Amino acid sequence: MKTLIKGGTVITTENEFVADVLIEDEKIAAVGKDLSADGVDKVIDAAGKYVMPGGVDQHVHYSFVYKGSKVRGFETTDACALGGTTTVIEFVNQVKGKGLIESLEDYKKTDAEGISMIDYAFHPVMVDPRPEVIDEIPSLAEAGYPTMKLFMAYKGQFFHADDDAIIAALVKGKETGVTVMVHAENADMIDYLTKKLIAEGKTGAYYHAVSRPPIVEAEATSRAIMLAEMADAPIYIVHVTCKEALQAIKDAQQKGLPVCGETCAHYLLFDESVLALPNEEGAKYVCSPALRTPEHQPVLWEAIEKGWLNAISSDHCGFDWAVQKHLGMGEGCSFADIPNGAPSVQNRMNAIWTYGVCEGKISRQKFVEVMCTNPAKNNGLVNKGIIAAGYDADIVVFDPDYRGVMGVESCREGVDYSIYEGMEQKGRPETVLLRGKVIVEDAKYIGAKGDGKFVPGKPYGKAYDNVAK
Ligand code: URP
Ligand code: ZN
Ligand code: ZN
């Protein structure tokens, strides 16, 4: 099967140019001017449109369980396709008593294979750091899982990790090029503040932010960096939200340490005031780390622009509002009972295009870099995130002239709300191809369950760029 995308403006991380893109089966065969349509089965007219790589969202949760509440899973990945994301990387908790790889392979078989509508990879989350599990870490690289995550936050939850587990992961991971990622918040500080606030009767959703202020993230970020420095290993800090944590990252980078990080769309676009919305709407925005005061947003945009943070993820978490997000509302409940996380995978790219690119905060090149190319590189997805011959034909034909409004009505995330409800949308993915197959046409999903496949990552992702192997 041959497809020709004709006359669009191809965006790369470096520049943009009008060109045709020829696809043969699952791969990009050529990018160039006036490519011949001979023997081509399908021509997509992209004149006046941007042609960019399919988005890679390196931080999604399709299996997260918070105090008994479970998010929507891979059956809702048509939302990704509609939003221009063609690969997601999911955090899968190790099952206590099982190994990291065994836990992942079980989950993959039952919850992703034959279900996912876009390609996927995994970050194993170590929750049970027994010596045999620590010894398993180097083999993650070979198995196609070159990243792993530990949660410094969430005291008392089964997935919380102590520093000894992080040190072990860093040391063992470095043996084979596994990148260790951390959710950096000080669990004891949060625990102390949460108990204090609840004792004072301050239980509403807004107090979620008060219970985990920037100092909580700054302390854990600094500590994680120092653990990595001691272990002489790279580290990746997920969902960075505030200037204090960012300062620790910048200081480390200035010293030449291999410290990388991402932020998420909602930290760039919302501030903590939404947590105080009336009628329990604030619960919709409870995520961790918490949304911050407005002065952190320009600092995060600058960090993206300058490359101190190298990706913008969604941290997508599909909890519904009517039931799951209301768990903190009843008698005797508090913000601490609200499942953490918000749905956002569908509009990650639309929102950052509208409020980042269209408002002049980042260039189109930077957009492709932080939404597509770097997330692929961070995770060793060597065939993703770039429009060039030989790469997977994951491509978005983006209509910059579309004008609309984001909201739950057009969302396929499987939950009853959108954090972007009522916000203006400029531009949209009009056609989306997944390894050469058109899965979105005229901005409508036309793919099928099971179109997505597991993509094994290669070790030594971007965090190892300046590390001697
Ligand atoms: O609130 C969030 N971010 N929930 C998902 C789990 C995590 O901490 O990444
Ligand atoms: Zn997290
Ligand atoms: Zn997360």
pLDDT digits (tens, 9 = 90+) for 228-268: 999 999 999 999 999 999 999 999 999 999 999 999 999 99
Helix residue ranges per DSSP H, 46-146: 78-82, 100-107, 131-136, 138-142
Residues 6+ apart with CB under 8 A from 294: 271
Report how far residue 71's alpha carbon sits from residue 106's, in angstroms, rounded to the nearest whole number: 18
Q: How far is the CA of 47 from the centre of ligand 3 (A)?
A: 37
**Which chain residues have CB less than 5 Å from ligand 2, an ion?**
183
pLDDT band at 146 (very low <50, low <70, confident <90, very high): very high
Burial call 424-450: b when 16+ CB within 10 Å, e when fewer: ebbbbbbbbbbbbbbbbeeeebebeee
What confidence score (pLDDT) does residue 210 get?
A: 98
Per-residue pLDDT at 398 exceeds 90: yes
What's CA 9's distance to the chain center, in Å?
26
Q: Which of 63, 64, 313 to mutate to test the pocket of ligand 1 (most atoms within 8 A of CB)?
A: 64
Q: How far is the CA of 326 from the centre of ligand 2 (A)?
A: 21
φ, ψ dihedrals at 253, nearest 5°: -65, -35
Average pLDDT of the segment spanning 188-206: 98
Which helix (H) or strand (E) covers residue 7, if one does? Answer: strand 2-11
Q: How far is the CA of 153 from the centre of ligand 1 (A)?
A: 10
Report how far residue 379's alpha carbon sits from residue 187's, in angstroms, rounded to the nearest whole number: 27
What confidence score (pLDDT) does residue 236 get?
A: 99
Nearest CA, atom 5, ligand 1:
341
Cβ of 185 closer than 6 Å to ligand 1, yes or no, is no
What confidence score (pLDDT) does residue 307 get?
A: 98
What confidence score (pLDDT) does residue 50 get?
A: 99
Residue 317 to residues 60, 66, 286, 287, Cα–Cα distance (Å): 7, 10, 11, 9
Per-residue pLDDT at 329 exceeds 90: no
Percent of the chain with pLDDT over 70: 100
Q: How far is the CA of 19 from the centre of ligand 3 (A)?
A: 37
How confident is the model over 59-106, as pLDDT tens digits?
999 999 998 999 999 999 999 999 999 999 999 999 999 999 999 999
Q: Give the orientation angle of helix 214-231 with respect to helix 187-199, to 10 degrees.
A: 160
Atom nearest to 154 CA in ligand 1? 8
What confidence score (pLDDT) does residue 372 get?
A: 99
Q: How far is the CA of 31 from the centre of ligand 1 (A)?
A: 39
Per-residue pLDDT at 425 exceeds 90: yes
Nearest CA, atom 9, ligand 1:
315
Average pLDDT of the segment spanning 99-114: 98
The Cβ of residue 419 has, within 10 Å, a number of other Cβ atoms equal to 22
Cβ of 69 closer than 6 Å to ligand 1, yes or no, is no
Average model confidence (pLDDT) across the chain: 98
What confidence score (pLDDT) does residue 341 get?
A: 98
Per-residue pLDDT at 310 exceeds 90: yes
What confidence score (pLDDT) does residue 469 get?
A: 82
Report how far residue 229's alpha carbon sits from residue 221's, in angstroms, rounded to the nearest whole number: 12
Cβ of 315 closer than 6 Å to ligand 1, yes or no, is yes
Q: Which of 58, 147, 183 to mutate to test the pocket of ligand 1 (most atoms within 8 A of CB)?
A: 183
Contact indicator for 457, 104 with CB cutoff of 8 Å: no
Q: Which of 123, 288, 319 to mutate to test the pocket of ligand 1 (most atoms within 8 A of CB)?
A: 288
Find the length of the chain. Answer: 469
How confident is the model over 355-371, as pLDDT tens digits?
999 999 999 999 999 99
Cβ of 355 closer than 6 Å to ligand 1, yes or no, is no
What confidence score (pLDDT) does residue 330 get?
A: 82
Per-residue pLDDT at 308 exceeds 90: yes
Q: How far is the CA of 1 from the centre of ligand 2 (A)?
A: 41
Nearest CA, atom 7, ligand 1:
288
What confidence score (pLDDT) does residue 59 get?
A: 99
Please name which of 373, 313, 380 lies closest in space to residue 145, comparing C-alpha atoms.
Answer: 380
Residue 270 to residues 154, 183, 239, 243, Cα–Cα distance (Å): 23, 20, 14, 15
Q: Write down the residue that tokens 């090029």 correspond to.
A: 177
Q: How far is the CA of 377 from the centre of ligand 2 (A)?
A: 20
pLDDT band at 278 (very low <50, low <70, confident <90, very high): very high
Per-residue pLDDT at 279 exceeds 90: no
Atom nearest to 340 CA in ligand 1? 1
Per-residue pLDDT at 375 exceeds 90: yes
Percent of the chain with pLDDT over 90: 98
Cβ of 313 closer than 6 Å to ligand 1, yes or no, is no
Q: How far is the CA of 151 from the centre of ligand 2 (A)?
A: 7
Cβ of 290 closer than 6 Å to ligand 1, yes or no, is no
- What angle (nearest 5°) sits at the alpha carbon of residue 126, between those of residues 123 and 131? 135
Residues 6+ apart with CB under 8 A from 390: 27, 28, 383
What confidence score (pLDDT) does residue 424 get?
A: 98
Average pLDDT of the segment spanning 333-337: 96
Per-residue pLDDT at 157 exceeds 90: yes
Q: Which ligand is nearest to the CA of 184?
A: 2
The Cβ of residue 278 has, within 10 Å, a number of other Cβ atoms equal to 6
Per-residue pLDDT at 328 exceeds 90: no
φ, ψ dihedrals at 369, nearest 5°: -60, -50
In degrees to the nearest 10, what's the CA dihedral of 227, 232, 237, 240? 80
Q: How far is the CA of 127 from the centre of ligand 2 (A)?
A: 14
Nearest CA, atom 2, ligand 1:
341
Average pLDDT of the segment spanning 122-136: 98
Global pTM reads 0.98
DSSP strand pairing (69-70 vs 65-66): antiparallel
Cβ of 64 closer than 6 Å to ligand 1, yes or no, is yes
